[in-house]
Amino acid sequence: MNTGARGSHVWELQTALRDCYHINPGPIDGKYGPLTKAAVAVFQQSVKIKDDGVYGPRTEDFMRFRVYDNRGAWAGWCTQ
């Protein structure tokens, strides 16, 4: 995902950045704007990967923010 993306996946990412990683993504509005991009870059810097602010496969490998139960059903947000 990158600037201009919209929808529930962006909302989940914004919520995870705020609640799981304590990084301010700006408004939790489902819009991947400059504040969300900057927050993703901060997360990327924290795990020492390319900090381009794009939420792609490499970033996803480091950010597993949905928690699933043993049946594969979503059980809530991550905790650290």
Cα of first residue to Cα of last residue in the chain, in angstroms, is 24
48, 14, 5, 58 alpha-carbon torsion, rounded to 10°: 30
pLDDT for 19:
81
Mean pLDDT, 10 residues at a time, the chain of 80 residues: 94 87 94 98 94 94 67 62
pLDDT for 76:
64
pLDDT for 67:
55
The CATH superfamily label for domain 8-77 reads PGBD-like superfamily/PGBD (1.10.101.10)
3, 28, 18, 14 alpha-carbon torsion, rounded to 10°: -40
pLDDT for 78:
67
Q: Which residue ranges make up each domain of the chain?
A: 8-77
